[in-house]
A and B are shown apart, each in its own frame.
Chain A
Amino acid sequence: AQKITQTQPGMFVQEKEAVTLDCTYDTSDPSYGLFWYKQPSSGEMIFLIYQGSYDQQNATEGRYSLNFQKARKSANLVISASQLGDSAMYFCAMRDNTNAGKSTFGDGTTLTVKP
């Protein structure tokens, strides 16, 4: 069974600073994908970044980067130069590539960016 753990229910960051949102995962499958999604108060899930389990380099997408430490089973999201519009709920998720139907999500971290 797959499990995602996000230990930070809420985080605060000053505008323009960087912030790291933690995510650890558990799986026995050798091939999997890790994702981060943003969910603003309007409710839609917005894809941010993806890391494959066999990818050698950490994924980056603009201001988002994923700090992937496979041995530790962690996939932390780093947001650089925080903006007020980054205030939202952030979810870490995992998909098993041998059963590419479902994703398992963590319980999320609420990020608040302070001006």
Chain B
Amino acid sequence: DTGVSQDPRHKITKRGQNVTFRCDPISEHNRLYWYRQTLGQGPEFLTYFQNEAQLEKSRLLSDRFSAERPKGSFSTLEIQRTEQGDSAMYLCASGPAGQFIREAFFGQGTRLTVV
């Protein structure tokens, strides 16, 4: 299967711990996006990369959050000192470069529960 894959699918952590999620995009896609989705709401944009460059970050991405895409392939999203409010589904998506891209392809998400 050559879709977007995310690991882990589920993560339970204690408040104050650090967590890291991984996203492997579709191999030929230059763009990679991270979104956060809380219960009952639509996904909210966090950040996106074109190749290894992080081109935009939402103000939702506080200084406890950091994302990297070191070689322009997979990406990691790290949350430091987790808080209960960080509990959400974290979605990764990828898409080809180009101004009029049609759709992004989403992974199945990582569900984070902070206890």
Beyond A102-B33, A102-B48, is A44–B42 a contact (Cβ under 8 Å)?
no
List A contacts of B58 (CB < 8 A). Answer: 102
**Given A33-B100, A107-B41, A44:B56 Cβ within 8 A:** no
Per-residue A-contact encoding for B21-45, CB less than 8 Å = 1, 0 else: 0000000000101010000111111
**Are the C-beta atoms of A91 and B99 separated by less than 8 Å?**
no
**Residue B79 at the chain A interface, CB threshold 8 Å:** no
Give the distance in Å from the alpha carbon of A97 to the alpha carbon of B108 in the complex: 25
On whether A45 and B102 interact (CB within 8 A), knowing A101-B33, A102-B48, A102-B56, the answer reads no
Given A43-B89, A102-B33, A102-B56, does the pair A107, B40 have CB atoms closer than 8 Å?
yes
Q: Would you call B101 and A100 a contact (CB within 8 A)?
A: yes
Determine if B48 and A105 form an interchain contact, defined as CB atoms under 8 angstroms apart.
no
List of B residues within 8 angstroms of A104 by Cβ: 45
Query: In the complex, which of the residues B31, B98, B100 contacts A52, with contact meaning CB atoms closer than 8 Å?
Result: B100
Taking the complex as formed, is B105 at the interface, i.e. its CB lies under 8 A from any CB of chain A?
yes
- Does A102 contact B45, Cβ atoms closer than 8 Å? yes
B106 near A: Cβ within 8 Å? yes
CB distance from B63 to the nearest CB of A (A): 20
- Chain A residue with the shortest CB-CB distance to B56: A101
Q: Which residues from 18 to 47 on chain A have a C-beta closer than 8 Å to any C-beta of chain B? A: 33, 35, 37, 42-47
Binding site for B on A (CB under 8 A): 4, 33, 35, 37, 42-47, 50, 52, 91, 93, 95, 97, 99-108
User: Which 9 A-B pairs rank lowest in CB-CB distance, beginning with the nearest?
Assistant: A105-B42, A45-B106, A102-B45, A101-B48, A47-B103, A44-B108, A50-B102, A43-B109, A101-B56
